[in-house]
Structure 1
Amino acid sequence: MKGIGHEAQEQGHDSGSRGSARYPGRYGLRAGQARAESPSGIAFSDFKGYEDWAVVSSARTDEVLKVIVANPTMIEAFKAGIPGNGQPFPDGSRIVKLQWKPKKSSEATFAVDVPDVFTQAFVIEKDGKKFPNSGGWGYALFNYDAASDKFTADPSPSDCGHACHVAVKAKDHIFHPYQKR
C-alpha cells in the first residue's frame, strides 16, 4: 500500500506551504498514487484540509505531544454544547490527533517541550451507517515517514480505537472537550 505524501500545488497551495519532518504541511494524494486506506476503511484523504481545522485540545504523554483538531461540523457541534447537552455528534464529524516526539526547546529561556519529529495522525470519523457497531465512530492510525514524506495506514487495530473510547461513551466516545479560549 502506498502512503500519502505532499503535493502542495495539487491542493492549490504554493510550494512554500510544504512542510518538513518537524512540521508537515499540506498532504494530498500524489498523481497516480493509490488511495491509502486503513483496515477499518478510513482513507486519510477524507481528512483533507485538517491542517486548517480548529484546535480542540492538546495532550502530552512522556513520549508524545498531541494536538487535537476537528472539522467545522464537529466544531459547530462542540459550540452547540455537544456532548455535554446529551446529544451525539452528527455524522460527518471528524477529528485528528496529530502526534510529535517532543524535545526540549533550545531557544526558550525557560524549560519547555516543543514538537520535534511528526510521527502519526490518529483519525476518527462519525458515520453511523459505516460504523454501526462502535457508536457510529470509525478509527484509524496513519504513520508518517519523514524520509519518504508519506503517510501509510497502520495495519494494527488503529491504536486503541473503539475499545479505549468506550470509557467515554457518555460523551459520545470523545475524550477531549473543546477547550475554553
Structure 2
Amino acid sequence: MKRKSRLSITAVLVVLAGTTVYAQDKYSLKTPDGIAFSDFKGYEDWAVVSSARTDEVLKVIVANPIMIEAYKAGIPTNGQPFPEGSKIVKLQWKPKKSTEAPFAVDVPDVFTQAFVIEKDSKRFPKSDGWGYALFNYEAASDQFTADLSPSDCGHACHLAVKAKDNIFHPYEKR
C-alpha cells in the first residue's frame, strides 16, 4: 500500500509541475499581418508619454527609447517625423473607484489590452510607415491573444493627426 501511495503522490507532483511549464509566452504571439508582440519586449519598463481616460478605460501610453529621444528633440511639433524603429504602446485597464484614497479617484482594475504601434516604412508603406496591432488580454485565463485586425487597422483614426506623424499623444510636460 505504501508503494502505491508514493506512486500516486509522485504522479500528482509530476502533473502539477508540468502545468507551470506550459504558461503562456505572450512574446510568441504574432498578428496575421506579422506584427510580433516580441517586437515590443520590455514595454513594461518604457517611459510614460501620456495618459488618457474614456468612459470605458484608463490608458497609459509608453514609448521605447528611440521614440522618447525623438519627443525630447521636439518631434513631432517641429514638423519632423518620428524615426524608423519608434514604438509606442497604449496599455488599457477597466477602471474602478479606489477604496483606499481619502478622495474620489479611479485606478486601474482589470487589464484589457495592449495596442501597439511601430514605425517601419518598408513594412507599412500604406499607413504612412506605421503598423498597428492589438493584443487582447483575458484576465480569467491570464492569456493574451493577437487580434485579427490588419496592420493598418488604426491608421484611419490616426489620420486625424497626420500633421503630428499620426500620433495623438504629445510627450507631456513633467
Do they superpose with TM above 0.5? yes
Q: Give the partner amino acid of 1:107.
A: E
The structure where helix makes up a greater share of residues is 2
Unaligned 5+ runs, structure 1: 1-27
Q: Give the partner amino acid of 2:121.
A: G
**1:40·1:138 contact (CA, 8 Å) conserved in 2?**
no
- Structure-2 residue corresponding to 1:42: 35
State the secondary structure of the residue aligned to 2:170. Answer: coil
State the secondary structure of the residue aligned to 2:28. Answer: coil
Residue from 67, 74, 78 that aligns with 2:60: 67
Aligned residue pairs: how many?
152
**2:27·2:37 contact (CA, 8 Å) conserved in 1?**
no
- Structure-2 residue corresponding to 1:21: none
In 2, distance between residues paired with 1:61 and 1:159? 23
In 2, distance between residues paired with 1:34 and 1:122? 14
- Structure-2 residue corresponding to 1:127: 120
For the structure 1 residues 141 and 63, does the alpha-carbon distance in structure 2 shift closer, same or farther, using more than 3 Å as the test? same
Per-residue CA deviations over 1:34-53 (Å, capped at 9, x if unaligned) read 93111332111110000100
Unaligned 5+ runs, structure 2: 1-22
- Structure-2 residue corresponding to 1:92: 85
State the secondary structure of the residue aligned to 1:92. Answer: coil
In 2, distance between residues paired with 1:74 and 1:157? 23
**1:40·1:139 contact (CA, 8 Å) conserved in 2?**
no
Summarize the alignment of residues 123-162 of structure 1 with structure 2, pairs less than 5 Å apart. 123-157=116-150, 161-162=154-155
Q: CA deviation at 1:29?
A: 6.5
- Structure-1 residue corresponding to 2:7: none
State the secondary structure of the residue aligned to 1:63. Answer: coil
Q: CA deviation at 1:151?
A: 1.2
- Structure-2 residue corresponding to 1:117: 110
What's the RMSD between the two structures over aligned residues?
1.9
- Structure-1 residue corresponding to 2:162: 169
Q: CA deviation at 1:72?
A: 0.1
In 2, distance between residues paired with 1:39 and 1:58? 28
In 1, distance between residues paired with 2:98 and 2:160? 34
In 1, distance between residues paired with 2:85 and 2:149? 24
The percent of aligned pairs where both chains have the same amino acid is 82
- Structure-1 residue corresponding to 2:20: none
- Structure-1 residue corresponding to 2:18: none
